[in-house]
Chains A and B, each alone.
Chain A
Amino acid sequence: MTDLIKETLSPPRSILSQNASQAFYRLLAALLICAALTLLSDSFLSLGNILNVLRQASLTFFIASGLTLVVLTAGLDLSVGANVALSACLAGTVIHQTGSPALGILTGLVVGGVVGFLNGFMVTALRIPSFIATYGMLWVLNGVTYWYMAGETVHGFPAGFRQIGSGYFLGLPVPVYLLLIFLAIGSLFAQRTIWGQEIYAIGANPVAARLSGIPVTRRLLLVYTVSGTMAGIASIIFLARLNSAEADIGESLTLPAIAAVLIGGASLFGGIGTVFGTFIGASILTLVLNGMNLLSISANWQPLVTGIIVIVAVWLDMKTRRSAQ
């Protein structure tokens, strides 16, 4: 039995090296985009712009890192954007009414986490396919947020709170530090803990995972709750950076988060992908959108470009996987 667990949990060496080469190609792609943008735009290679890219990428990364764990279990969380919107609106309102950023931050994390837990509950206990359950949740959250905000905007938060999103520490934006911390925690959790390895095992083969004694239901609940909580964290960063929130802020966040996960090399069929890959994915996507911005291409093009990037990323992923077999 323990041998079986070991076999399920430790991936064969070849997959590890494949992961390494895939990460290398993605870094190469990021560098090529950087080189192209340096040639095309004078303002790309300034310190201010690079920091700006990192700060933008951090928001996508927070949402996408939790989503990565869900995708590793062969699930999907389509409600992350709507979750950010609800969490941000509620957290913002709490800060306004109590004057306490700490309570607001707590609200954002709890709301995000509870939404994630409900997603996990629908997927495990009610056995609704994850993309349908979280898609239904998306619209429930949208409805609740629009109803709660009634067209209003909450804005104007204490300066100390805003430091979380727009402040600098030793020359680097605060969100970049948070990004590095969560990148480290996420990578260690996924690669170096038993729970993390069990999540990979569930995605690779749910039946084998269950037979080798992994508590699949509890791990799935954990994964969806983490995804929701990360959306809650993203909502706090969002609030602190833009100093305002309204009901429609989540609509443009879900597709980029999914794109970051897929560009990062995670497979929609589960079991393959890393949090570090998702970080690279978020960086590549942000570089492209930042580049379009610098070349003064209208923001109207962003959903179109993101959609095409998603298709190309999945297509490349499936092509390399087929040729590897």
Chain B
Amino acid sequence: MPDAAVISQIRLFQRTPGVAIVLVLLIGLFGAIAPGFLSAANLANVLVQSTILTMLALPMTLIIMTEGLDLSMGAVLTLTSLCVAIVSLATKSALLGLGAAVLVGAAFGTVNGWLVAIVGIPPFVATLATLGIAQGLSLIMSDGQSVVGIPHSVRDIYSAAVLSVPVPIIIGLASYGVFHGLLYHTRFGTYVFALGGNREALRYAGLSPTRLLIAVYAIGGTMVGVAGLLMTARMNSGHPTAGLGLEFDAIAAVAVGGTSFERGNGWLLGTVLGVIAVGVLRNGLNLVSLPSSIQVASVGALVIVALFLDGFRSRS
């Protein structure tokens, strides 16, 4: 019975998460064609460089689960990164820089949530508008120039290691732990699932979907604030266009990771695998010396393929 074998193969394919297939294919591809891709140093590099994206993609998963979107993340990341640079330059304190960045990020997240939940503007237009506002503020604050000469205490955050594990990886793992706990082991997490899947049920349970929705966007903004510290530490400067477009990689990671834009189901581990897939794609294309423009186009193509597969699998 060759048919049975084929059928079980098909079942295996259907049950294997798409993102795992994508990731294995990408690693196999670049392992074959990109020199030095499979070296331990390079793979560690991919993980370290994925940290900032992880910190955006985790809250983006929650936002997309509520059938929302946050296009402002990249621009707000740029702004919070500049806040870290300017405040730490003025006060010589990384902690005050982080505080300012978190405040600004949380404020933007709250405004996004308010525009979406209370004013009722569709999320992609509301956050496109706040993208413009954040970008404008970055240009005004920096006058279009880089902010350099920031204290070493900021830079050291990115290059330090604890027990020879790089600090960015620890921060990435801790972020995942927090979001995993939040989504799967708290009531708030259950409500987030309900926000996307069955908002009426929340209302019948006497809860306020509006406030929950604002909270989801505010959490996103707060994470972007923390990521701003890492961004500044990584570049050892603040730059008015540093994070622009990173929201696209975050959305790509979430889409590739199997979170649906329409059905309110989310998978955080899938998002992390999606982040790594995007990181592998960019790193591999870099190693075969394709320019960053091709990387951008490839990530765009990856999203469209992932969305197509998502629709295809859910229909079949």
Instruction: Give A residues with C-beta under 8 Å from B.
Output: 76, 78, 122, 126-129, 131-133, 135-140, 142-147, 150, 247, 255, 258, 262, 268-269, 298, 300-308, 310-311, 314-315, 318
Contacts and interface: CB of A to CB of B under 8 A. Distances in A.
Describe A's contact surface by its main secondary structure.
helix
Given A136-B301, A300-B136, 10 more contacts: A78-B128, A132-B307, A145-B293, A258-B128, A268-B125, A304-B133, A308-B133, A311-B129, A311-B130, A314-B121
Interface in B291-308: 291-301, 303-304, 307-308
A301 B139 CA distance: 8
Interface in B113-134: 115, 119-122, 124-126, 128-133
Given A126-B307, A139-B300, A147-B293, A304 B261 contact: no
Contacts of B130: 307, 311
Interface residues of B, number: 45
Contacts of B251: 132, 135
A150 B130 CA distance: 30
Contact of B122 (A137, A139, A268, A301): A268
A147 B245 contact: no
A300 B143 CA distance: 8
B176 interface: no
Among B255, B292, B293, max chain A CB count under 10 A is at: B293
B261 A129 contact: yes
Given A128-B307, A133-B304, A301 B136 contact: yes
B276 to A, nearest CB: 19
A140 B297 contact: yes
**Which A-B residue pairs are the 9 nearest by beta carbons?**
A304-B136, A143-B297, A307-B132, A146-B293, A143-B296, A140-B300, A300-B139, A139-B300, A147-B293
A126 B308 contact: yes
A150 B294 CA distance: 11
A298 B291 contact: no
A128 B295 contact: no
14 contacts: A132-B251, A133-B304, A135-B248, A135-B251, A140-B297, A142-B297, A143-B297, A146-B292, A255-B129, A302-B136, A307-B131, A311-B115, A314-B125, A315-B119
A307 B292 CA distance: 28
A139 B308 contact: no
Contact of A315 (B69, B121, B297): B121
A315 B131 CA distance: 17
A128 B293 contact: no
Nearest to A128: B307
Nearest to A300: B139
B135 to A, nearest CB: 5
A196 B131 CA distance: 33
Contacts of A258: 125, 128
Contacts of A127: 311
Contacts of A301: 136, 140
Contacts of A140: 296-297, 300-301, 304
B294 A147 contact: yes
A150 B301 CA distance: 20
Contact of A136 (B128, B304, B311): B304
A307 B295 contact: no
A254 B107 CA distance: 25
Which one of B135, B301, B308 has the greatest number of beta carbons of chain A within 10 Å? B135
A300 B138 CA distance: 9
A128 B137 contact: no
A258 B131 CA distance: 13
Contact of B132 (A135, A145, A304): A304
Nearest to B302: A136
A300 B142 CA distance: 10
Given A139-B297, A146-B296, A310-B128, A318 B119 contact: yes
Nearest to A322: B120
B200 interface: no
A303 B304 contact: no
A136 B300 contact: yes
B121 A311 contact: yes
Contacts of A145: 293
A139 B124 contact: no
B296 A139 contact: yes
B262 interface: yes
Contacts of B307: 126, 128, 132-133, 136
A305 B137 CA distance: 10
Given A136-B304, A139-B245, A310-B129, A300 B144 contact: yes
A293 to B, nearest CB: 15
B261 to A, nearest CB: 6
B65 to A, nearest CB: 15
- Max count, chain A CB within 10 A of own CB: residue among B120, B294, B297, B301: B297
A143 B245 CA distance: 12
Contacts of A144: 293, 297
Nearest to B132: A307
Nearest to A268: B122
